[in-house]
């Protein structure tokens, strides 16, 4: 399918991509787990068996349960997100805690373990942690008391403050002293002033905000909607909305990744009754759009490894046991398949 | 002549040492159909009154885990406990109370933690497929709970108080009155525990010792039994059991949930027996209501039963039982409403061609909604092939089918319920050898090998944003069950011991697609090895026991990358029933559970209590 994108300015930016910032590199030697790919295994509900696996994409060596191996105790949570900040890795468990480990060897540095409900993601501003949290369920399984929790101290500790936000906050993004919050249920982006720890501004956006990403100095928000997905950019100087691009794509999930040539990969899932999942591929440079580039069932996470030029798609395999990760070449051919932990939902690609 | 002597004459009960509690009837009794009349070739384990006494204040789950080959998946102290019998799932064990199936029709299983031993008088287990004899869900086996009042005993009553570690406080008041014609017995119980035991919290940095939170348990109930001998040939009896459990749900380590659950059950069974010259007619009606409130979500089900059967001695060699059961089910669940109705007819035939051989053939037909299962059979034989003055060797063999009708949740849950599900079906065969030795000491050994397959096994799979059940899995089970017991009485001393070992293999042969990693592997949370043993020593009236049970490794998931370690726990108890104060008799006992304070988890990250002490005193009135 061919499609037209009239304004390709944002797309050109995509080709520059994010990886440059990671590659800038610091002087310190990298630890064992600061290269390759971390595979986030969410775990199964009620079992708290989330864990992280490490994959060396060159040798193919897979190390399971690296949190437990480094700390002699299980992770004991459902792993929702992994956030890297300098040499710290924040492991966000939606069962109510954040484990903070040394990114190099996964040794525990601390935790935020009390007064959280269902944390989703985390951002660091200076020495403060901002944690998006759905808050507790009410009697009808709604979450009217969602918040962003503030913790003083990079190694965790008690919650200092809870800033009330719109329902079901997901991803966070830091720009200067501002924290952008993707308010997934009410279509809002709240901007928190990290110094005052209050909401500075709220922007209404299209669809259900899922994930922020930065391309060439521009902040983008990926949101899902009914039959379409949205890419909303923001001006960081005056904190306003800039451009909105819409793509006709049904059943999109919040899982998205990019390669170096400006290709976007989005996981879709048809749900009931056909349960058809797919990887949708949108090439901005060629203006091609393949909604069902790779078809399957059980797709759960996606990431692109720019160094190896390979696409990783994880499959939860029904959460009955371990999931798998299928590695694809850019032409869609399967490079390899590996068995990982339970409910693999995401990756951190170094 | 009293009613029960009649029955003894008609059916020619032969007291057998291994089955005394279910078979041997005192002269004046409330009638209960014996479990083992048509179970030739299969195995029954009954618990004696003494054994049940040792479990006063505890649950059916504890009793079964510690003294039977059943594995209990326990989510914490007093928390959900579901059985896995011969490697099957929790929904493959049928549970009966005074002849009524009490598994929840929406969940298809029971929580053994809220079936307190204090509420029943008899517990027996039937091993293996009992689809023909007992109907729906008796695949791994079935558990039979009964209450038992008696006639012509005058007034009796007792009060029992138990105090134990972690804030345990259990009280039971039991009072009964009976004449030759009429019998009533009432018991009221209340059991509670703070459950604030300490455990090593693996979910926190530094794995500190913490006290369990949000794990308090409380349940209370009333049991009322009534029976009338209307005339020398007919008896009417009624039993009522109301149980209410109020629990905080102990979170899995690493979570800090504050869930609560309240379970309320009313069970009522009314039986009419007519004792003919060579037959017994039984008409039965019953009602079971379950109401569960998990946080704010309410799930209620009601079941109504009407059944009748006729059990006759056709000749000295032939016995026949035939009957029908109607069951109407109403469900008011948090996401849907549904009704179901079931009609079952069944026929059992027992034949004793010669003295040492007993054969039985059982058949059942089951219709539910628009489905009809016409042929659920079982066939079994017992053969006492060698016998001398002090030894008897018997061979048991049987073939059987079992069935599980998809539960209401499986079919109607919104969203995801699948109304097109087929019943789960099972076929099995078993063969066993029994050796009974009597004399200076009594010894009994039995060894059973079984093979079983369960097809159309229902599993729930994620389908986009919700889960839906499908008939996917096929499982092959096989196992060995060895049980032994010995007892010896010498002068003032009484020594007895029993032990058992179970090997159970339950392997998926069909799963989600051909590459399902579970294929060829043991099912999760199904130990291959289990064992238990108990030695009891009594002198005069004082007695002491030491019991132990061992549970082998369990895989946490179908592909088994994480394995839970084995554990073995010991319990120690002392009792002295003859303590007197004036004219009052005050039996006392003291028990230590988890004697060596072993740190263990049955299920991954579910904390379990360490050593606990329990003191019990009764007042006999």
pLDDT digits (tens, 9 = 90+) for B333-364: 999 999 999 999 999 999 999 999 999 999 99
Q: Supply angle C-alpha B29, B32, B38, rounded to 5.
A: 135
Distance CA B286, CA B493 (A): 46
Cβ–Cβ below 8 Å for A271 and B205: no
Cβ–Cβ below 8 Å for B605 and A47: yes
Helix (H) or strand (E) holding B168: strand B168-178
8 Å CB contact between A89 and A102: yes
Task: Give residues with Cβ within 8 angstroms of B389, minimum separation 6.
Answer: none
ipTM: 0.82
B93-97/B141-146 β-pairing:
parallel
Q: What is the DSSP letter of B91?
A: G
Going through B17-106 in order, the beta strands assigned E by DSSP cover 44-46, 71-74, 81-84, 93-97, 100-101
Cβ–Cβ below 8 Å for B203 and A64: no
Residue B22, pLDDT score: 37
Residue B463 has pLDDT above 80, yes or no: no
Chosen for mutation from B201, B210, B213, B254 (greatest number of chain A CBs closer than 10 Å) is: B254
Distance CA A338, CA A322 (A): 10
Residue B24, pLDDT score: 36
Please tell me which of the candidates B253, B468, B560 has its beta carbon nearest to residue A76.
B253
Residue A1 has pLDDT above 90, yes or no: no
Q: Which of A50, A139, A142, A58 is nearest to A95 (CA)?
A: A50
Rg of chain A on CA atoms, in Å:
19
8 Å CB contact between B281 and B308: yes
For B268, B443, B491, the CA distances from B439, given in Å and listed in that order, are 44, 9, 15
Cβ–Cβ below 8 Å for A322 and B296: no
Please tell me which of the candidates B254, B296, B511 has its beta carbon nearest to residue A77.
B254
B604: closest chain A residue by CA: A47
Residue A18, pLDDT score: 44
Residue A273, pLDDT score: 55
3-class DSSP assignment, residue B483: strand
8 Å CB contact between B203 and B254: yes
8 Å CB contact between A50 and A43: yes
> Which pLDDT band holds residue A183 (cuts at 50, 70, 90)?
very high
Residue B57 Rama label (left phi>0; alpha psi -120 to 50; beta)? left
8 Å CB contact between B522 and B509: no
8 Å CB contact between A33 and A104: yes
Query: Tens digits of per-residue pLDDT, A196-244?
Result: 999 999 999 999 999 999 887 889 999 999 999 999 999 999 999 999 9
8 Å CB contact between A42 and A70: no
Cβ–Cβ below 8 Å for B461 and A320: yes
A92: closest chain B residue by CA: B254
Cβ–Cβ below 8 Å for B462 and A316: yes
3-state helix, strand, coil in chain B (%, to 5): 10, 60, 35
Query: Tens digits of per-residue pLDDT, A68-103?
Result: 999 999 999 999 999 999 999 999 999 999 999 999
Please tell me which of the candidates A49, A275, A342 has its beta carbon nearest to residue B464.
A275
For A211, B426, B474, B520, B613, the CA distances from B477, given in Å and listed in that order, are 47, 10, 10, 11, 38
Chosen for mutation from B464, B524, B525 (greatest number of chain A CBs closer than 10 Å) is: B464
**Maximal C-alpha separation, chain B:** 74
Q: Which residues of chain A are at the B interface, by a Cβ-Cβ cutoff of 8 Å? A: 44, 46-49, 64, 71, 73-77, 93, 95-97, 99, 108, 110-111, 113-114, 116, 139-140, 269-272, 275, 298, 316-322, 339, 341-342
Please tell me which of the candidates B255, B524, B560 has its beta carbon nearest to residue A48.
B255
DSSP string, B355-423: TTEEEEEEEEEEEETTEEEEEEEEEEEEEEEEE-SSEEEEEEEEEEEEEEPPPHHHHH-TTT--TTPPP
For B131, B382, B399, the CA distances from B39, given in Å and listed in that order, are 12, 9, 11
A252: closest chain B residue by CA: B464
| Structure tokens, B147 | 């209450």
| Structure tokens, A287 | 């203006």
Q: Is the dihedral of CA A275, A277, A282, A288 positive or negative?
A: negative
Task: Give residues with Cβ within 8 angstroms of A164, minimum separation 6.
Answer: A145, A146, A147
For A285, B12, B271, B309, the CA distances from B9, given in Å and listed in that order, are 94, 5, 22, 20
Residue A21, pLDDT score: 42
φ/ψ (deg, to 5) at B133: -85, -40
φ/ψ (deg, to 5) at B399: -130, 140
Task: Give residues with Cβ within 8 angstroms of A27, minimum separation 6.
Answer: none
Span of B11-15, B92-96, B236-240, B322-326 with lowest mean pLDDT: B11-15
8 Å CB contact between B345 and B324: yes
Q: Mind telling me how many Å the CA of A48 is from chain B's nearest CA?
A: 7
For A204, B77, B167, B216, B614, the CA distances from B213, given in Å and listed in that order, are 41, 12, 13, 8, 21
Span of A247-261, A269-283, B411-425, B542-556 with lowest mean pLDDT: A269-283
Distance CA B126, CA B398 (A): 13
B256 contacts in chain A (CB < 8 Å): 95-97, 114, 116
Task: Give residues with Cβ within 8 angstroms of A60, minimum separation 6.
Answer: A336, A338
Q: Is the peptide bond before A191 cis (omega within 30 degrees of 0)?
A: no
Q: Is the model more confident about B13 or about B175? A: B175
Residues 188-217 of B with CB under 8 A from A: 202-205, 207
Cβ–Cβ below 8 Å for B557 and A44: yes
B295 contacts in chain A (CB < 8 Å): 139
| CA B148 from centroid of its chain's CA atoms | 16
**Exposure of A60 by Cβ count < 10 A (0-12 exposed, 13-18 middle, 19+ buried)?**
exposed
Residue A188 has pLDDT above 80, yes or no: yes
Query: Tens digits of per-residue pLDDT, B107-123?
Result: 999 999 999 999 999 99
DSSP string, B46-61: E--HHHHHHTTTSBHH
Across the beta sheet with B122-127, the strand order is B44-46, B122-127, B141-146, B93-97, B100-101
Please tell me which of the candidates B205, B464, B561 has its beta carbon nearest to residue A270.
B464
Q: Which of A337, A349, A48 is nearest to B203 (CA)?
A: A48
Distance CA A224, CA B94 (A): 47
3-state secondary structure string across chain A: CECCCCCCHHHHHHHHCCHHHHHCCCCCCCCCCCCCEEEEECCCCCCCECEEEEECCCCCCEECCHHHHHHCCCCCECEEEEEEECCEEEEEECCCEEEEEECCCCCEEEEECCCCCCEEEEEEECCEEEEEECCCCCCCCCCCCCEEEEEECCCECCEEEEEECCCCEEEEEEECCEEEEEECCCCEEEEEECCCCEEEEEEECCCEEEEEEEECCEEEEEEECCCCEEEEEEECCCCEEEEEEEECCCCEEEEEEECCCCEEEEEEECCCCCCCEEEEEEECCCCEEEEEEEEECCEEEEEEECCCCEEEEEECHHHCCCCEEEEECCCCCEEEEEECCCCEEEEEEC
8 Å CB contact between B358 and B382: yes
Residue A272, pLDDT score: 58
8 Å CB contact between B525 and B603: yes
| Structure tokens, B153 | 């005993």
Query: Tens digits of per-residue pLDDT, B49-69?
Result: 888 988 988 999 999 999 999
Residue A22, pLDDT score: 43
Distance CA B194, CA B609 (A): 12
B511 contacts in chain A (CB < 8 Å): 320
CATH number of the structural domain spanning residue B34: 2.40.170.20
Cβ–Cβ below 8 Å for A271 and B465: yes
Distance CA B607, CA B198 (A): 9
Residue B492, pLDDT score: 86
8 Å CB contact between B144 and B96: yes
Note down the domain range covering B508.
Answer: 2-620
Q: Residue A234, Cβ neighbours under 10 Å: how many?
A: 23
A64 contacts in chain B (CB < 8 Å): 561
pTM of the model: 0.88
Residue A12 has pLDDT above 60, yes or no: no
Percentage above 90 pLDDT, chain B: 81
Q: How many domains is chain B partitioned into structurally?
A: 1
First to last CA, chain B: 30
8 Å CB contact between A73 and A83: no
A274: closest chain B residue by CA: B463
Distance CA A118, CA A78 (A): 10
Chosen for mutation from B213, B462, B470 (greatest number of chain A CBs closer than 10 Å) is: B462
| Structure tokens, B354 | 């010669």
Residue A84, pLDDT score: 96
Q: Is B459 on the interface with A (CB under 8 A)?
A: yes
Distance CA B71, CA B93 (A): 11
Residue A46, pLDDT score: 83
């Amino acid at each position: 399918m061919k499609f037209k994108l009239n304004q390709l300015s944002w797309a050109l930016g995509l080709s520059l991509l994010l990886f440059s910032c990671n590659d800038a590199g610091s002087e310190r030697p990298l630890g064992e787990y600061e290269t390759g790919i971390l595979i986030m295994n969410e775990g199964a509900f009620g079992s708290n068996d989330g864990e992280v696996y490490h994959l060396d994409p060159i040798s193919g060596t897979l190390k399971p349960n690296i949190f437990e191996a480094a700390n002699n105790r299980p992770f004991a949570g459902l792993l929702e997100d992994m956030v890297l900040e300098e040499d710290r890795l924040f492991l966000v468990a939606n069962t109510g805690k954040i484990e903070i480990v040394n990114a190099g060897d996964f040794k525990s540095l601390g935790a935020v373990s009390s007064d959280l409900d269902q944390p989703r993601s985390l951002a660091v501003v200076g020495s403060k942690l901002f944690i998006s949290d759905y808050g507790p369920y009410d009697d009808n399984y709604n979450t009217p008391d969602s918040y962003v929790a503030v913790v003083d101290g990079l190694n965790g500790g008690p919650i200092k403050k809870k800033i009330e936000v719109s329902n079901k906050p997901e991803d966070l993004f830091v720009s200067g002293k501002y924290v952008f919050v993707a308010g997934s249920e009410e279509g809002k982006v709240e901007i928190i002033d990290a110094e005052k720890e209050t909401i500075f501004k709220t922007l209404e956006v299209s669809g259900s905000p899922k994930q922020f990403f930065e391309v060439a100095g521009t902040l983008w928000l990926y949101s899902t909607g009914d039959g379409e997905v949205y890419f909303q950019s923001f001006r960081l100087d005056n904190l306003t909305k800039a451009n909105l691009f819409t793509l006709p794509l049904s059943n999109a999930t919040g899982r998205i990744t990019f390669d170096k040539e400006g290709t976007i990969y989005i996981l879709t899932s048809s749900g009931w009754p056909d349960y058809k999942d797919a990887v949708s591929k949108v090439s901005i440079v060629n203006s091609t759009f393949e909604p069902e580039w790779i078809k399957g069932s059980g797709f759960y996470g996606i990431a692109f490894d720019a160094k190896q030029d390979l696409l990783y798609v994880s499959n939860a395999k029904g959460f009955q046991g371990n999931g798998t990760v299928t590695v694809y070449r850019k032409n869609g051919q399967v490079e390899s398949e590996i068995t990982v932990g339970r409910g693999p939902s995401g990756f951190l690609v170094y | 002549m009293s009613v029960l002597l009649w029955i003894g004459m008609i059916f020619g009960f032969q007291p057998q040492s291994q089955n005394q509690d279910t078979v041997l009837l005192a002269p004046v009794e409330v009638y209960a159909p014996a479990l083992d009349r048509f179970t030739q070739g299969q195995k029954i384990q009954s618990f004696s009154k003494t054994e049940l006494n040792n479990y006063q204040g505890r649950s059916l789950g504890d009793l079964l885990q510690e003294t039977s080959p059943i594995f209990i998946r326990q989510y914490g102290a007093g928390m959900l406990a579901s059985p896995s019998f011969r490697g099957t799932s929790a929904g493959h064990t049928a549970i009966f109370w005074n002849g009524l199936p009490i598994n929840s029709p929406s969940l298809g299983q029971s929580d053994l933690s809220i079936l307190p031993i204090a509420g029943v008088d008899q517990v027996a287990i039937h091993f293996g497929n009992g689809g023909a004899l007992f109907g729906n869900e008796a695949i791994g086996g079935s558990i039979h709970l009964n209450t038992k009042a008696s006639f012509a005993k005058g007034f009796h009553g007792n009060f029992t108080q138990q105090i134990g570690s972690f804030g345990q406080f259990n009280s039971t008041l039991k009072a009964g009155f009976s004449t030759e014609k009429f019998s009533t017995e009432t018991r009221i119980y209340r059991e509670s525990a703070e459950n604030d035991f300490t455990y090593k919290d693996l979910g926190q940095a530094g794995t500190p010792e913490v006290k369990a939170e949000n794990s308090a348990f409380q349940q209370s109930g009333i049991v009322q039994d009534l029976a009338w001998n209307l005339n020398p040939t007919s008896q009417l009896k009624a039993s009522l059991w109301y149980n209410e459990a109020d629990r905080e749900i102990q979170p899995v380590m690493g979570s800090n949930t504050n869930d609560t659950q309240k379970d309320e059950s009313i069970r009522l069974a009314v039986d009419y027996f007519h004792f003919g010259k060579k037959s017994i007619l039984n008409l039965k009606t019953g009602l079971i209501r379950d109401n569960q409130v998990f946080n704010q979500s309410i799930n209620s089900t009601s079941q109504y039963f009407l059944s009748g059967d006729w059990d006759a001695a056709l000749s000295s060699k032939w016995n026949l039982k035939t009957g029908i059961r109607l069951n109407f089910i109403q469900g008011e669940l948090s996401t849907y409403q549904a009704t179901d109705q079931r009609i079952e007819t069944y026929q059992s035939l027992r034949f004793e061609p010669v003295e040492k051989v007993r054969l039985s053939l059982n058949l059942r037909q089951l219709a539910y909604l628009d489905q009809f299962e016409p042929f659920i059979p079982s066939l079994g034989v017992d053969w006492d092939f060698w016998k001398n003055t002090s030894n008897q060797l018997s061979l048991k063999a049987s073939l059987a089918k079992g069935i599980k009708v998809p539960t209401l949740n499986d079919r109607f849950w919104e969203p995801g319920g699948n109304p097109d599900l087929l019943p789960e079906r099972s076929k099995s065969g078993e063969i066993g050898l029994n050796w009974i030795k009597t004399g200076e000491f009594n010894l009994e050994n039995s060894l059973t090998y079984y093979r079983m397959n369960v097809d159309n096994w229902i599993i729930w799979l994620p389908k986009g944003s919700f889960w839906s059940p499908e008939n996917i899995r096929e499982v092959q089970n096989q196992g060995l069950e060895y049980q032994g017991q010995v007892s010896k009485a010498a002068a003032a001393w009484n020594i007895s011991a029993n032990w058992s070992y179970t090997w159970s293999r339950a392997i998926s042969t069909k799963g989600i697609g051909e590459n399902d990693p579970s294929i060829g592997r043991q099912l999760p949370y199904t130990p291959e090895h289990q064992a238990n043993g108990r030695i009891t020593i009594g002198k005069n009236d004082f007695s002491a026991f030491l019991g132990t049970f061992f549970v082998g490794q369990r895989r946490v998931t179908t592909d088994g990358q994480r394995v839970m370690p084995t554990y073995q726990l010991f319990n120690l108890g002392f009792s002295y029933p003859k303590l007197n104060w004036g004219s009052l008799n005050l039996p006392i006992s003291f028990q230590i559970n988890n004697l060596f304070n072993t740190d263990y988890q049955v299920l991954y990250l579910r904390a379990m209590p360490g050593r606990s002490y329990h003191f019990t005193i009764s007042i006999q009135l």
